[in-house]
Chain A
Amino acid sequence: MENLEKEQIVQDLLPQEFGKQGKIWVACLIALCVIGFIAYCHQLSKGLVVTAMRDYASWGIYISNFVFFVAISLVGSLITAVLRLTDVHWSTPLTRIAEIIAVSAITFASIIIVVDMGRPDRFYNLFLHGRLQSPIVWDVIVITTYFFISILLLYFPLLPDLKIMLKYKDRTSKWMYKLYSFLGSFWKDKPEQFKITDKAINILSITIIPVAFSIHTVTSWLFATTYRPGWDSTNFGAYFISGAFLVGSGGVLVAMYVFRSHYNLKKYITYDHFDKMGKVVVMLALLYLYFNVNEFLVPAFKMKKPEEEHLRGLFTGEFAPIFWFAITTSMLLPILILVTKKGRRPFPAFIAGILVVIGSWFKRYIIVTPTLLHPFLPMRDVPASYHHYFPTWEEWAICIGSLAGALLVITFFARIFPIIPIHETITETEEHEHDKK
C-alpha cells in the first residue's frame, strides 16, 4: 500500500453517496425485488401449485437458491476467520466485503426457505413440533447462530470506524448520524475498549469456523441423509464446503472489482489483492473439482442400475447442457483464467469471479433437481409432466428477486458504512511505516 496520510485514508474510505450509476443500479434491484414480491404474493394466494414443483421435483430452484445462499455466506468465515487466525494481513481490506456478503446471503437463505414452505404461517410448527433428530431443525439452529456470529463479526470491527464517521457530520445525513450515534457513540478509542474488541474478534473468528462448517455440512445432510441416487454419499459435507468456499471467494472477487471501480479504491484494493485472491480461487476450484470427480466418477464407474438413469441424465441426457455448463463455468474456465498472472489482473479476475458465481448457482440446481426426478422407486400413476421440471415465472421472479435483495443489502451497507475498515487500514499503514523506519 502506498504511503497514505491518515486524513486521506478517511476521506477515501468514508461512505459515498450514490451517483447516477448507483441510483440506476439501486432502482433496478428494487424493481426486481418488487417483481419477486408480487410473484410471492401470487404464490401465497394461489398456493405452491403456481410453481412447477410436483410429486417428483418437490424441491426446485428455491432450494437450489437456498443452498447457493448458504454456500456463498461461508466466505465470511474464510476471509475473516481463517485468514485472520493464520495471520494473513493482506485480506484486511476484504474482511468487511466478505462479512456483508455473508450476512446478506444468510438472511436471504432464511427467507427463501420460508418461501419454499408455501405456508409461512406454519413455520412456527417447526418450533412446536420439530424433532431434534431432524437435520432441518439443525439447519434452523446453525443458520440462526451463524447469522448472529456474522452480525457480531461485522459489528465489533465497525466500532472504531463509527467514531470516525461521527466526526464527519457534514458527510452524513441526519438519520445516518443518528444510526452511527446509536451504534457507536460510546466508542472513545480507549485501550481497554480495543483490548475487549480484539479479544471478541478473536473469539468470534474461532467460533465461526466450526459453525460455518456445521451450517454447510448440515445443509448437505439434508440431501445425504435421504436415500436417493446422487445424494447417497458419505462425501457430501466436504463436497459442499469446498464448493461453498469457492463460490464465496468468487463472489468476493466480483465485489472487490465493483467496489474498487465504483468507489475508486484502487489504492486499497490493489493488483496484489486480486493476485492473491485469484490464487485462492484457483486452489478452491481445484479442490472442488477433485470432490466432483469423486462424486461422479466413482458411481459412474460402478454404474449401479438405480444410479444409471440419474448419471446418464447428467452426462449425456436431459441435464447434460446445464451440468457441463456448471462444471465448465464454475471450475474449469476460472482455473484457466486465474492460473496465469495476467489472468489475476482485476478485470479478468472479475470475469472469472462472475463465471464462478453463475456456474455455482447452476451447480446447486444440478445437485437438487435431477436427483428428485430419478428416485429409486418410481411413483405410480403420475401425469407425464411430473417427470420433468422447469421453473414457472413465479419461481424465477422470486429467486431473481431474492438475489437482487441480497445485492441490495450489500449496496445499502456500502452506502451507510465504510466497505473497507478505516481504522484497521490506518493502523496497518502506520505499522507499515513504523516497520520501514
Chain B
Amino acid sequence: MNTIKNKYIGVILLSFFSIVSFAQDAKNDLMLSMGYYNNNNLTQYLVAHAKTKIDGKFQMVPDVTVKFYINNDSAATNLLGTAITNDKGDAVLMMPPSAKAEWMKSAKHTFAIVSTASKLYDEAKATVDVSKAKLKIDTTDDKKLIVTLLELKDTAWVPVKAVDLKVAIKRLDGDLNVNETATYTTDSTGTITAEFKRDSLPGDKEGNLTLIAKVEDNDIYGNLTAERVVKWGSKFQYVSQFDRRTLFARRGHSPWWLELLAYAIVVSVWAVLIYLIGQIRKIKQLGV
C-alpha cells in the first residue's frame, strides 16, 4: 500500500517539476522592426520597435536592450550604439558622427538591430536597406510648391519617379495639408507641384509658415522630410489676456461689476456695524 502511495506522490512531484521547468523555459517571441529617418536633410536617426504576441494580442515590449549596426550585424567597428526600448517599445538612436566614414562609403546601406537574449526573450534581429535620398522644396511667387525627390546614384543625385509624398504646413499639434490633396506622386522628373490654398492661415508675428514635404515608410528610402519657411501666413499679433478683468483672472483683476457689487455690499454692511458700535458708545455716554 505504501509503495503505491509513494508512486503516486512521485508522479505528482514529477508532473509539478516538469510544469515548473516548462514554465521557466517558455519564452515569448520578440519581434523587432526598424525605421530610418532623415529630418530636413539634417538629422538622421534610427528607431527600433520591439513587440511580442501575448494571448493573441500584440504588446509593446519595454526595457529591451537593442544594438544598432551599419552594414554588418556583429562587427564591433560597425556598431552605431545601443539603446533601450521605452514603454511604447521604441528605442531611438541618433546617427553618431563616428559613423560618417562608413556612411560615406556607399549610396546604399543596410542597418541591423540585434536584441540581446534575456530571461524572457531570445535574441532577435531585424534589418532595413536604405538608399540615400533627399527632398528639396522650392516655391514660386504665385504660392506653388515644387518638391523634388532625389536619390544618390554613385556620386550624382538623380530624380526619382513614382514615389508618394505629402506636402503640408507644420502646425502645433500636427501637419496641415496645403490643399485638399493628401498625397502626391512624383513624375518622371522626380517632382510634384502643389498649390498653396491656405490663405490667411496665422503664422508667426512676421507671417512665417513652415512648409514640410514628407516621404513616409518608403521601402527604399525610409522616412524623409524637408522644410522651408515662407511668408505666406497672416501676421499673428499676440494680445495678452493676462491683464483682462475676468472671473478667471488673477488677484486684483476681477470684473468691475463684481468689485463694485462685492465692495458695495461689504462696505454697506460694515458701515451699519460700525454705526451700531457707535451706538454702544452713545449708550455708554448716556449712562455716565
* A residues with CB within 8 A of B: 129-133, 138, 141, 145, 148-149, 152, 155-156, 159, 185-188, 190, 192-193, 196-197, 199-200, 203-204, 207, 211
Contact = CB atoms under 8 A, between A and B. Distances in A.
B97 to A, nearest CB: 40
B272 A207 contact: yes
Contacts of B275: 203
A223 B284 CA distance: 44
B273 A148 contact: yes
B270 interface: yes
Interface string B223-265: 0000000000000000000000001111100100011001000
B4 interface: no
Given A138-B262, A145-B270, A207-B269, A190 B254 contact: no
Contact of A187 (B251, B258, B276, B283): B283
B266 interface: yes
Counting from the closest, the 3 A-B pairs by CB-CB distance are A186-B287, A132-B254, A186-B284
A132 B262 CA distance: 8
Given A188-B286, A196-B282, A132 B258 contact: yes
Contact of A145 (B247, B248, B269, B287): B269
Contacts of B283: 159, 186-187, 193, 196-197
B254 A131 contact: yes
A90 to B, nearest CB: 27
Given A132-B251, A152-B277, 5 more contacts: A145-B273, A152-B276, A200-B276, A207-B273, A211-B269
10 contacts: A131-B250, A133-B248, A133-B249, A133-B258, A152-B276, A156-B276, A196-B279, A196-B283, A200-B279, A203-B272
A250 B279 CA distance: 34
Interface SS majority for chain B: helix
A139 to B, nearest CB: 13
B1 interface: no
Contact of A192 (B272, B273, B280, B286): B286
B146 to A, nearest CB: 47
Interface string B54-90: 0000000000000000000000000000000000000
A229 B248 CA distance: 22
B96 to A, nearest CB: 36
Contacts of A145: 266, 269-270, 273
A381 B280 CA distance: 60
B288 interface: yes
A207 B270 CA distance: 10
A195 to B, nearest CB: 10
A196 B281 CA distance: 11
Nearest to B269: A145
A32 B273 CA distance: 35
Contacts of B249: 131, 133
A130 B251 CA distance: 6
B254 A133 contact: yes
A190 B286 contact: yes
B247 A133 contact: yes
Contact of A152 (B258, B273, B284, B286): B273
A148 B247 CA distance: 29
A148 B254 CA distance: 27
Interface in B113-153: none
A399 B189 CA distance: 82
Contacts of A193: 283, 286-287
Contacts of B248: 133
Contacts of A138: 262
A132 B284 CA distance: 38
Nearest to B251: A131
Contacts of B266: 141, 145
A183 B219 CA distance: 95
B276 A129 contact: no
Contacts of B282: 196
Contacts of A155: 280
Contacts of A192: 286
A203 B262 contact: no
Contacts of A207: 269, 272-273
A130 B282 CA distance: 36
Contacts of A197: 283
B279 A149 contact: no
A155 B280 CA distance: 10
A149 B273 contact: yes
A148 B280 CA distance: 14
Best-surrounded residue of B259, B262, B269, B280 (most CB of chain A within 10 A): B269
Nearest to B261: A132
Contacts of B259: 132
Nearest to A129: B251
A358 B27 CA distance: 62
A155 B279 CA distance: 12
Nearest to B282: A196
A266 to B, nearest CB: 34
A118 B287 CA distance: 47
A185 B258 CA distance: 44
Nearest to A137: B262
Nearest to B248: A133
B288 A186 contact: yes
A193 B282 CA distance: 8
Nearest to A131: B251
